[in-house]
A and B are shown apart, each in its own frame.
Chain A
Amino acid sequence: DEDGRRPHARSFTQHKANIWMNKEGPKRKKNRKRSKKRTPLIGTCTSSNPGEIIGEPPQRPTLVSSEVEALQVESPKSAELGNCLRQSKVTSPRKGPSQKPLCNTGSQKTEPLLSGLHVTQPKHTEIASGDPSKTALKVASSNGPVSTLFTLNVEQTQQRASKIKSSKTANTESMKITQSKIRTSESETQPQVLLEGKTKLKQVNKKSPQKTSSSSELNVAQGCKLPFIPVSELLVADTHSSSIPAVNVENTHSKPNVKEKNTSSVTEETHMPNLPPMQFELNTVIMSEAKNKLDHLCNLLDSIVIEHSGKEGYSTNTVIPVLVDQTAKGTSEVAVIPSKFESLPGTVSECQGEKTKEDIEHERKARKEAKAMKKKGGDKSKSENDKQENFNCIKVEKKKAVQQGKPLVVSAVTEEKLPRGKQEPSGSSVPSQGTSQESTTAKSKADLKRERREKQEAQRQAKMIAKAKEVEKQTKGQEQVHLSNDKAKPAPKKKKSAGEGAKRSRDRRIPLLGHLPLHFSQLPIYPVNCDDIHPAVRTLGLKMRDRIVDGSTARVVSTLAALKRFINDYRTPESCDLSRDLAEKLLPNVAFLNACRPHAIAMDNAIRFLKHKVNSIEASMPEAQAKDELRTAIDDYLQENINLASSTIASHAASLIDDGDVILTFGYSAVLIEVVEAVCKGGSNISVVVVDSPHPSSGVSMVKKLSSMSVTTYYRLITDVTHIMHKVTKVVVEAEAVMMNGAIQGICGTAGLALAAATHDTPFIVLCHTYKFCNNDLTDSLVINELGDADSIVSCPSREYFGLLDNWRETQNLNVVSLVYDVTPACLVTALVTEQSVLPTSAVPVIIRRNYADILGQD
């Protein structure tokens, strides 16, 4: 609810979160395997962007930069090809962005860009020639990414749709503008000017943004717009006449995606897959028209990309992921049309003009009708009308709607999703208008204006509905309108500065700990509607973020359970290795979990185990069997390493505890409860001292459980542990992880406890499952750690000091730090109780080498 009340601020912070993730989240490890596959060209740009590897946010930036490049490509080409090749020229910008992802994901390092293009081409034609409606449908159902695109933020699509008035060049341009607009409105430091200046856009390109922004003047760029639009219209008409539904279009569109994915083994990206098809189509168009020019074009593009690769790195860092989503969507939508075009037999440009005109007229009338109906009947009727009027578009939209609705239902936890989902009807109708508008806009300014007005009306209507339903929706609608209005005028400066201030305070990095991801207590971290994150994973991620699932063991168990569900629901795309595809589809899920809360080392181990299992599945194995194998592997892992191990640890530890001992423990530990149970069952009489840290005080539940077992229990804070240490005979704690050198990673405070125990010569016993052993050496607690909620420290319950430090972020030179883990050196640990036996810390490397050789050796 809290999120709902302030949607504006939320989306704001969400973007921030995305930026964070983009910058720092996935720095570790995951780069290696993938980097091999990249072209050298792309490799440079990816390496400059550390966040690139995980999930969507990282890769979106490259999209943007590629788009920019594409625009640049236009200039040399136009110079060379001249006016006769207008069409290919227009398409070329699209080719740019699509090519980029391809390179990113697919081709071998040594393989030149050009060859990559060639490789993909035949595939596309093949698909186009085949029966797209059947095969592609399947793909669409099993393939997440496509739907992901469409489920993207409704508000943004609305904006986009309203902005797309003219040709496709204008389209991409306008998208760019929206980006820059939003960026400025959100106080991002990357204005439109920077993009332009960086990329040295051609005059045509520069003018088209102006045109779109002002919306009254469609002067220069019209020339290049016009030739293309007819084509798209024709395509629409053709699909109508041939009675191939629009789904087809989407399918053909999605099919190459999958293919591309298969060949290039891209799975990190949800959005990327959408782009390749465009490329194919565009390629083929070019091939049909100017085959001999293709190589030359590619070379040109190549060189330009290389030229600007350095700048990409910069732009990628500053671009907001969600916005790039938008671009991805836009480009992909654009791509639909060429694909239709491809599926048509042979017929190309020349004669398209008349047909399209008719069609446009037809459509416009239908749309007017629809709008009138809309005003009367509200959203549902409107969408129905739309359906009648424009069968193709609506079908696509429906799909979107379905896919939007589905995740909403499944993951109830995602609060931020709710408002969006409710607004969906109004939002989904707008893009359809946008696509149809694309064609009509070229006709006249008047049309454009009118349509724009209509669109705004529609938005307003949507807003009204939202108002009636809920307050939160209303605010969101306002936001939408506000943003759409923004395009005419520059972003307000006040907002920007305020945003910057807020950002800076959020950004506040603590010296020495700048490498650790910041703690977000309330922020939605990830863009909501993307399909490659399984609902179970999403739910779990949010639970972990909110510390509902806490403690390394619980997190490992629930992570594996969620991933098991993910594997359950997974279906291998056609002509795709399960092991390769699944391994890649696993990545965004894992990344999401990491974004919600940095992985515990135990989680890393468990995930590594799972990946190892996935990778070791042979290609020949049938899917059902493979999935079965994976599921049983997960079950076995949980059973052996956690359930059975816990009881074994309990019995081992119980053998170390004698009658009359006073045990001191720290915080909550499920294993320790088992130990105490085992000791009590053995007839020994012990008492337990539970010391606790104030943030969070997990020891309370420990005390509750212990006292329910009728064990004498003392509860006190860790601050006065020295008072009781001399009465304690044994200190028993549970470790979060054990490092290669025997050092123990535990909840913050464990190291201090160990020192106190050493001072009093009290045995310090550590309980740990061997699956938590980690092949890292930690000498201090700063390298691998996690920042907790600093606000919880400064919130002081006593009246006298209440709220004194609430605005500590604004205070200069003040750093409030709440670390989650600390590291206890091995020399302070008397014994390490594992399921294998009671071991000294010097046995840790031996155990790791023996038990985890196959998995740990992997990376």
Chain B
Amino acid sequence: MSPAIAAMKALMESLRQDDSTTLQEFIEKMKDAREALSDTDVSVVSVSSGCELFMRFITLKHLELEQAADFASCREILLRRGEDFIKSMEENRKKILRSSNTLIKDGMTILTHSRSRNVLAVMTEAAKQGRQFDVFVTESQPDCSGCRMADELKAAGIPCIVILDSAVGYVMERVTAVMLGAEGVCENGGILNKIGSCTVATLAHLKNKPVYVMVESYKFIRTIPLNNSSLPKKYLHRASVLKSDRDLKSAHPLVDYTPPQNLTLLYTDLGVLPTSAVTEHLIKLYT
């Protein structure tokens, strides 16, 4: 389960146990809950964006809420909506699978970076359909999530090779496509993902290899990083690192920003989008 979905469920739980008497009080409490969730050692990007979207969705039509007789009925509405939302979020992966149905073809060699549930699902689905393809997986230091990915791929019967992070340039010429997940998609279509994604995407761009990103739409966030150095600290480091008084300059960042120029397509539950379409969905969502 992705951390964002988990966070939404946690919010849902706190909503159920909520004992506030007014809508305003409730919203305040939920804000506290979201901050608490962002404080945990998970990928903050998707958690914060997922939580924000969740809150936005359940309180979307204030009119209906205002028409409710009392807060009890209000909470009914909120609960119902929250459950609907989480259910639809869980369906997202299926939608992505549907949209990326024909992405992987026989004989392809795919390079992927780190571990992404979406990428894994797409590859597994393709393998189930009997497609023959090879996968390179980067080791993806510092947490070696690439090794976990390789294990899961092998379990699905997909031939895969773990390569060093520094070997991306070496294998790139043999690769037909690069597939990435994302922790967040910025407004301009660039992605925030596990550190090293930028390297992979940039090298792929250099060698004219397509870079596909499998991502759910709740990971869209309303920011535009000018470059990697302008990324907020809370995205780069885990909460525990930020809290400890370590020198952040020597601390390894966990995510990097890949500019949209290096990406080819985004496979989302909203369909296959070019990077420039992200902003439209965000504007629709938040205004």
Given A840-B189, A840-B224, A847-B283, also A658-B230 (CB < 8 A): yes
B36 CB–A CB distance under 8 Å: no
- Report A679 CB to chain B, min CB distance, Å: 14
B112 CB–A CB distance under 8 Å: no
Contacts of B277 in A (CB 8 A): 842
CA distance A846 to B227 in the complex (A): 24
A838 CB–B CB distance under 8 Å: yes
Residues of chain A at interface, number, CB under 8 A: 19
B64 CB–A CB distance under 8 Å: no
- Report A767 CB to chain B, min CB distance, Å: 14
Residues of chain B at interface, number, CB under 8 A: 20
CB contacts under 8 Å to B, within A809-859, are 827, 830-831, 836-840, 842-843, 846-847, 850
CA distance A850 to B277 in the complex (A): 15
Contacts of B143 in A (CB 8 A): none
CB-contact partner of A730 in B226, B276, B287, under 8 A: B226
Contacts of A842 in B (CB 8 A): 188-189, 275-280
B187 CB–A CB distance under 8 Å: yes
Given A831-B188, A850-B287, also A840-B226 (CB < 8 A): no
CA distance A370 to B223 in the complex (A): 83
CA distance A842 to B186 in the complex (A): 12
In the complex, are the beta carbons of B187 and A839 less than 8 A apart?
A: yes
CB-contact partner of B283 in A656, A658, A761, A843, under 8 A: A843
In the complex, are the beta carbons of B226 and A765 less than 8 A apart?
A: yes
By CB atoms of chain B within 10 A, which of A730, A840, A843 has the most? Answer: A840
A112 CB–B CB distance under 8 Å: no
Contacts of A840 in B (CB 8 A): 187-189, 224, 260, 276, 279
- Report A727 CB to chain B, min CB distance, Å: 15
Given A839-B187, A840-B188, A842-B276, also A830-B226 (CB < 8 A): yes
One digit per residue, 1 when the CB lies within 8 angstroms of any chain B CB and 0 when it does not, for chain A 759-785 equals: 001010100000000000000000000
Contacts of B222 in A (CB 8 A): 837
- Report B8 CB to chain A, min CB distance, Å: 24
Nearest B-chain residue to A658, judged by Cβ: B230
| Secondary structure class of chain A's binding surface, majority of residues | mixed
- Report A357 CB to chain B, min CB distance, Å: 82
Contacts of A839 in B (CB 8 A): 187, 224, 279
Contacts of B278 in A (CB 8 A): 842
Contacts of A658 in B (CB 8 A): 230
Given A831-B188, A840-B189, also A846-B224 (CB < 8 A): no
Given A831-B188, A839-B187, A840-B188, also A846-B226 (CB < 8 A): no
In the complex, are the beta carbons of B230 and A656 less than 8 A apart?
A: yes
By CB atoms of chain A within 10 A, which of B226, B230, B276, B278 has the most? Answer: B226
CA distance A763 to B280 in the complex (A): 22
In the complex, are the beta carbons of A836 and B287 less than 8 A apart?
A: yes
One digit per residue, 1 when the CB lies within 8 angstroms of any chain A CB and 0 when it does not, for chain B 95-112 equals: 000000000000000000
Contacts of A763 in B (CB 8 A): 226-227, 230
Nearest A-chain residue to B284, judged by Cβ: A846
CB contacts under 8 Å to A, within B225-268, are 226-227, 230, 260-261
Partner-B contacts on A (CB < 8 A): 656, 658, 730, 761, 763, 765, 827, 830-831, 836-840, 842-843, 846-847, 850
Query: Assuming A830-B224, A837-B222, what are 13 further A-B pairs, CB within 8 angstroms?
Result: A658-B230, A730-B226, A831-B224, A838-B187, A838-B224, A840-B189, A840-B260, A840-B279, A842-B188, A842-B275, A846-B279, A846-B283, A850-B283
27 contacts between A and B (CB under 8 A): A656-B226, A656-B230, A658-B230, A761-B227, A827-B261, A830-B224, A830-B226, A831-B224, A836-B287, A838-B187, A838-B223, A838-B224, A839-B187, A840-B189, A840-B260, A842-B189, A842-B276, A842-B278, A842-B279, A843-B187, A843-B280, A843-B283, A846-B279, A846-B280, A846-B283, A850-B283, A850-B287
